[in-house]
Amino acid sequence: MERVSLCRVGCAGTFGVAAGRRLCAVALGICLCLGLSLLLAGTAHALGARDGVNRVGLHILNEWEEHSGARIAIYVWYPTVRPERSVFLDPYAISAAREGKPEEGKFPVILLSHASAESGLSHHDSAEFLVRKGFIVVAPTHPGDNYLDTSRIYTEHQVTDRPYHLQLALDAVQAHPEIGPVADMSNVGVIGYGTGAAAAMLLAGAMPDTEGLRSYCTKAKPDDPYCSDWAHARLALFMNKTAEELQPAGGRPWHDPRVKCVALLAPAYGMLFNAQGVASMQVPSILIEAERDAMNWPELHAQYLRTLLPEKTSYFILSDATSFTLHAICSERMRTNYPAVCRDSEKVDRKAVHKAVNDILLRFFGKKLQGKVLSE
């Protein structure tokens, strides 16, 4: 891995590109580790296409888990013809046209799976950004693993139920009388934050193996969250199950052939995967590490997954960032009520991080889902 340090800026090279062709570009205080093709794309398409900026619409749909009856709130952002308004959805202030009429056309769909103990609104700023660039973004709040209900954290259901929630969300959008006709279901991508990254891998065809869970704490640091007495006790039932005993929720396979590409951000549960299980994941992917992630230590999650994914996978490091840095920009209300989520080190500018991450996501999904293959 090639790493450059410029004022505490980290850079990891893109896999599969000879060292002489690896190029790094510094953007807004973060070194974006771009391979040659991405850098050329940047010269022709700096900071995203400006061939039309869409207004953002928002529908909130509901589905229910068949096996538990739990409600799944699904936030659907999409291009709309109506003007945006300020909308307060506690504790978030967002800009959107609630239930506005969709723009005409066909828009690729991006599923978004939030990090643990968050919600479908936790990354609303990135969702809004991608909608303005021509995507539909669908983000369910995962039952049992959100800021109001953490009953499934460190159980098998925290991971294995998520693909089912994402599939239900995708089905709900497809069936919606207004959004369904403009949603391009032949072009679906997934963004997974934290535990959402594990869900994205399952949707893309990877298979879990609990052997890594059983040996994880022998390699971990003493303060690793997975190895606390409380977490370890909850994980005990999970780690003693074989891959064959892990059954997808709702009877549906985890793998969904509609998924064409995935972005994995500050991934969790890296130890659930091995080379054999990841080999069945045959879609393009990118991987973004939060260097100071204390919830999912990069050495045992992001960096480990990097060794399993194909060499052509692009890998990025966000210097000094934590997993919370990837959470939406905090309002004053958020900073007051959820200070831990809003706290970054003095070396981190969260707005700059989000601008850089959004650019990475736009380049990746623009190429893989919109077919915008950019040239010199």
Which among 112, 250, 123, 102 has a CA at the least distance from the CA of 170?
112
Residue 76 to residue 99: CA distance in whole angstroms: 10
pLDDT of res. 102: 97
Helix (H, G, I), strand (E, B) or coil at 173: helix
Which among 115, 18, 133, 81 has a CA at the least distance from the CA of 323?
115
pLDDT of res. 250: 62
pLDDT of res. 331: 85
Which among 148, 158, 168, 167 has a CA at the least distance from the CA of 62?
168
H helix or E strand, kind and range, residue 110: strand 107-113
Kindly give the interhelix angle for 162-175 and 195-203, rounded to the nearest 10 degrees: 70
pLDDT of res. 21: 27
pLDDT of res. 174: 97
Q: Are 128 and 57 in contact (CB under 8 A)?
A: no
Contacts of 68 (CB under 8 A, 6+ apart): 143
Residue 207 to residue 273: CA distance in whole angstroms: 7
pLDDT of res. 249: 64
Half-sphere exposure of 272 (CA within 13 A, CB side): 26
**Per-residue pLDDT tens listing for the chain (376 residues):** 323 222 233 344 433 332 222 323 333 333 443 332 333 333 233 223 334 689 999 999 999 998 889 999 999 999 999 999 998 897 888 999 999 999 999 999 999 999 999 999 999 999 999 999 999 999 999 999 999 999 999 999 999 999 999 999 999 999 999 999 999 999 999 999 999 999 999 999 999 999 999 999 999 999 999 999 999 999 999 999 887 788 776 678 999 999 999 999 999 999 999 999 999 998 999 999 999 999 999 999 999 999 999 989 999 999 999 999 999 999 888 888 899 999 999 999 999 999 999 999 999 999 999 887 544 2
> How many other C-beta atoms lie within 10 A of the C-beta of residue 20?
6
pTM, two decimals, is: 0.86
pLDDT of res. 156: 94
Measured in degrees and rounded to the nearest 5, phi and psi for residue 167 equal -65, -40
pLDDT of res. 43: 28
Can you give the C-alpha Rg of the chain in angstroms?
Answer: 19
At 346, the amino acid letter reads: E
Q: Are 204 and 283 in contact (CB under 8 A)?
A: yes
At 112, the amino acid letter reads: L
Q: Are 258 and 74 in contact (CB under 8 A)?
A: no
Helix (H, G, I), strand (E, B) or coil at 323: helix
At 12, the amino acid letter reads: A
Residue 168 to residue 160: CA distance in whole angstroms: 14
Residue 256 to residue 202: CA distance in whole angstroms: 8
Copy the structure tokens of residue 122.
Answer: 């936790």
